[in-house]
A and B are shown apart, each in its own frame.
Chain A
Amino acid sequence: MSTLVLAEHDNADLKDATLATITAATQLGGDVHVLVAGAGCGSVAEAAAKVAGVAKVLVADDAAYGAALPENLAPLIAGLMAGYDAFVAPATSRGKNVAPRVAAALDVAQISEILSVEGPDTFTRPIYAGNAIATVKSSDAKKVITVRGTAFAKAATSGGSASVEAVSGAGSAGTSSFVGAELTKSARPELTAAKIIVSGGRALGSSDKFHEFIDPLADKLGAAVGASRAAVDAGYAPNDYQVGQTGKIVAPELYVAVGISGAIQHLAGMKDSKIIVAINKDEEAPIFQVADVGLVGDLFTLVPELTGKL
């Protein structure tokens, strides 16, 4: 039994999502190898080789893999899979983009966003926005799996001494090209990796108010900023701030929900947080049913007061 893990990275740094994925892969039993596919991604391969539990790092360094285009990556991975029993990717936007394409090439069903490994072919995963948890058993000879990062501990970034081996694939499939990206620039921690998150909802009322009230509290706490779907849809916050069923799944130590009513779809994305604090003027809001500490009142007076007193 051996498992190939897809590394999540930006050609410079190995992302935390990879570490939880490596932990899940380790639980399958057998050797864990990590594929670093990118362009000029040598530093990522070095970082991956140091991760505890990794036996080997495969590096596919090619301009065609720089932007992680799935048309180019999937054939590379499917080719490498001849030597592996399982392919495991983080359930990030990149992992979700490429893994099903690999599964199709291998003619196997994918098991999406697993929460636990119950055995070499049995896993739990959320369905219906996390309102139910299914235990599924795969009958395929090879497994293709994506991993929910918040459900597994992160593998240690030191202690490993994996060998690094260069691999190559067919390169560009010639069907797609990367045009550009508008990445949200922020000095704050990354949402899925943050220990504390302050999230704002529709009650903020405008983009200006969102930043005026949420940002200082987040900065005071050293927190990442999140948002409900309603706030993102209304244009108060960019799409990558969205926490919920179709946005990011987070599980920080502390989650502060400000002016968020707590739709099922939002709760699905944050209910595994260790401590949840809710500030909302509606005392009947569903967010209070999951909050450890609730404060009913006007966020426009309470949030600045809280920022001041922390």
Chain B
Amino acid sequence: MKVLVPVKRVVDYNVKVRVKSDNTGVELANIKMSMNPFDEIAVEEAIRLKEKGIATEVVVVSVGVQQCTETLRTALAMGADRGILILTDVTTESLAVAKVLAGIVAEEAPGLVILGKQAIDDDANQTGQMLAGLLGWAQGTFASKVDPQGETVNVTREIDGGLETVALKMPAIVTTDLRLNEPRYASLPNIMKAKSKPIANKTPADYGVDMTPRLTTLKVTEPAKRQAGIKVKSVDELVAKLKEMGAVA
């Protein structure tokens, strides 16, 4: 079974993003970019399935600018087998990306597509579900456990009230939550080895997909700032303050 893992290049998790002064977006010049953390978890899960002998090949794909090659190399250094770059300079919206991925799925025929549940830039949380919808496949979103058993995969999902498990007919879509696994760091020899792994270059047009965004961002602003309040010295003062504010009876 082949496993396909889409990965997105995003502003690094540790960067404190700043809104541009002209309110057209956030400051991206000279900012560290990395693989979306949820996608790292997806890559790790795919590699573990290969190590268990369940997956035969792990293919990673990224849709975006030329520098997404670096994101693909990171995944290859972790242990993925080959990469596909879908080159586009257009803002990538979930629906268009899902359509491109549907085209790749038709070519590659994976048994599982594992995606991050959301990207930490646009926080959309859509691509996996949209891809499942376009393909008519079953989906196991927000996964904390993925257990393929022959023709089905059992996915344990993190839901509002706790956990639930669904059985999905394969091929299927899985999106990762934080506690699915802890992604490995690529070792230096593997980083060197990744340089010679193949990356195919394609474009959205190769899959007949129009990337034109459906949403226009009119402006981007800073959220309302909270003012730091006061510090109290004791529990008695805290209780008095809470009563004064009407927070407790």
Residues of A within 8 A of B (CB): 67, 69-71, 74, 92-94, 96-105, 107-113, 122, 126-140, 173-184, 192, 221, 229, 232-233, 238-240, 245-246, 248, 253-254, 264, 271, 275-277, 283, 288-296, 302, 305-306, 309-310
Contact = CB atoms under 8 A, between A and B. Distances in A.
Nearest to B15: A128
B70 interface: no
A60 B137 CA distance: 22
B162 A182 contact: yes
Interface string B206-226: 000000011111111111001
A99 B154 CA distance: 22
B90 to A, nearest CB: 13
9 contacts: A93-B142, A96-B141, A104-B130, A132-B221, A177-B167, A179-B154, A238-B162, A246-B118, A310-B248
B129 A100 contact: yes
A275 B247 CA distance: 7
Given A192-B160, A293-B241, A310-B239, A104 B226 contact: no
A113 B124 CA distance: 8
B134 A104 contact: yes
B219 A135 contact: yes
A74 B165 contact: no
Contact of B17 (A128, A175, A289): A128
B177 interface: yes
B217 A264 contact: no
Given A110-B124, A126-B123, A294-B231, 17 more contacts: A96-B142, A100-B133, A101-B139, A109-B93, A128-B121, A128-B123, A129-B120, A131-B17, A174-B169, A175-B136, A175-B172, A176-B167, A176-B169, A178-B165, A233-B178, A264-B16, A295-B235
A232 B158 CA distance: 12
A-B complex: 5 closest residue pairs judged by Cβ atoms = A104-B133, A292-B229, A100-B129, A109-B214, A101-B133
Interface in B119-154: 120-134, 136-139, 141-142, 144, 154
A71 B122 CA distance: 25
B161 interface: yes
A286 B201 CA distance: 44
B192 interface: no
Interface of B: 11, 16-17, 19, 26, 93-95, 98, 117-118, 120-134, 136-139, 141-142, 144, 154, 157-169, 172, 177-179, 213-223, 226, 228-236, 238-239, 241-242, 245, 247-248
A245 B161 contact: no
Contacts of A108: 95, 214
B231 A135 contact: no
Given A104-B95, A229-B178, A294-B229, A69 B160 contact: no
B94 A100 contact: yes
B95 A103 contact: yes
Contacts of A140: 214
B161 A302 contact: no
Which of B129, B165, B232 has most chain A Cβ within 10 Å? Answer: B129
B216 A175 contact: no
Contacts of A253: 247
B98 A104 contact: yes
Nearest to B96: A109
Contact of A109 (B94, B177, B222, B239): B94
A305 B220 CA distance: 44
Given A135-B218, A137-B218, A178 B121 contact: no
A179 B228 contact: no
B95 A295 contact: no
Contacts of A181: 159, 161-165
Contacts of B17: 128, 131-132
Nearest to B223: A133
Contacts of B121: 127-128
Given A93-B160, A291-B228, A179 B98 contact: no
Given A130-B223, A134-B217, A246-B178, A294 B232 contact: yes
Nearest to A301: B235
A293 B16 contact: no
Contacts of B172: 175
A113 to B, nearest CB: 7
A179 B246 CA distance: 46
B94 A137 contact: no
Given A127-B123, A133-B223, A264-B16, A294 B230 contact: yes
A248 B161 CA distance: 11
Which of A69, A99, A101 has most chain B Cβ within 10 Å? Answer: A101
Contact of B216 (A74, A103, A132, A137): A137
A181 B121 CA distance: 31
